């Protein structure tokens, strides 16, 4: 049995495509859609006795697009849609966020050990759930996820490989 830590946006749920940006996170729970194969794969892992967790940068908070409570609602909605996880962490901080939001200093603009590519969320989940690096796998869709996994000393699997449908036996 092991621990699988998943990124949320772009890994478990689809980002939305826009004309001005390749993709951005969905900002309302009802608009979150699981990526193909996610529900089935997580159910399979759970059935095999593995522990599942989510570690997600939530830059939309630092950019003033949603509140911290709304980011928590987004994660709770994702957890419901995937069938449950044992623990989750979000990081609302972004070192390059705007200096001000709505005319006030931005409290979420700072460098922290929780914002991926730093390994803080992964290390915290591993400690909380009792798993060493050798029994932990991180699954994500970005270089930040890969770098955070490396810094935490855990194996990284790209989401597009992890959720790839297996070929039927002939």
Cα 11 to the center of its chain, rounded Å: 7
pLDDT tens digits, 119-159: 999 999 999 999 999 999 999 999 999 999 999 999 999 99
Residue 168: what pLDDT?
Answer: 62
1, pLDDT greater than 70: yes
How would residue 169 be classed by pLDDT, with cut points 50, 70 and 90?
Answer: low
3-162, superfamily in CATH?
HAD superfamily/HAD-like (3.40.50.1000)
Residues 121 and 8: their CA atoms lie apart, in Å, by 13
**Residue 167 pLDDT grade (very low, low, confident, very high; cuts 50, 70, 90):** low
Which of 75, 119, 68, 122 lies closest to 93 in space, CA to CA? Answer: 68
Sign of the alpha-carbon torsion through 168, 157, 26, 90: positive
Other residues' Cβ atoms within 10 Å of the Cβ of residue 25: 22
- Using one digit for the tens of pLDDT, what is the confidence trace for 4-29? 999 999 999 987 765 455 566 778 88
Rounded to 10 deg, the angle between the 38-47 and 68-82 helix axes is: 70
- Model pLDDT, residue 15: 79
Interatomic CA distance for residues 36 and 64, integer angstroms: 30
pLDDT one-digit tens code per residue, 45-80: 999 999 999 999 999 999 999 999 999 999 999 999
Domains of the chain: which residue ranges? Answer: 3-162
Confidence at residue 108, expressed as pLDDT on a 0 to 100 scale: 95
Share of the chain above pLDDT 90, in %: 82
Measured between alpha carbons, how far is 73 from 162 in angstroms, rounded to an integer? 26
DSSP of 43-82, one letter per residue? HHHHHTT-EEEEEEE-HHHHTTSS-HHHHHHHHHHHHHHH
Q: What is the pLDDT of residue 9?
A: 92
Residue for token pair 């849609």: 81
Judge whether 150 and 25 are in contact, CB under 8 Å.
no
Residue whose C-alpha is closest to residue 59's, from 115, 101, 15: 115
* The predicted structure's pLDDT at residue 151: 98
């Amino acid at each position: 049995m092991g621990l699988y830590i998943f990124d949320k946006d772009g890994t478990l749920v689809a980002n939305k495509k826009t004309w001005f940006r390749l993709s951005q996170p969905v900002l309302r729970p009802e608009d979150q859609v699981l990526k193909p194969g996610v529900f089935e794969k997580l159910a399979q892992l759970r059935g095999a006795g593995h522990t599942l967790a989510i570690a997600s940068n939530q830059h939309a908070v630092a950019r003033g697009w949603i509140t911290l409570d709304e980011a928590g609602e987004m994660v709770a909605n994702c957890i419901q849609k995937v069938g449950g996880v044992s623990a989750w962490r979000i990081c609302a901080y972004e070192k390059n966020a705007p200096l001000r939001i709505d005319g006030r200093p931005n409290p979420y603009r700072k460098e922290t050990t929780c914002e991926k590519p730093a390994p803080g969320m992964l290390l915290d989940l591993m400690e909380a759930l009792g798993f060493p690096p050798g029994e932990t796998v991180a699954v994500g869709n970005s270089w930040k996820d890969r770098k955070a996994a490396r810094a935490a000393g855990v194996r990284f699997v790209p989401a597009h490989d992890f959720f790839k449908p297996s070929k039927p036996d002939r």
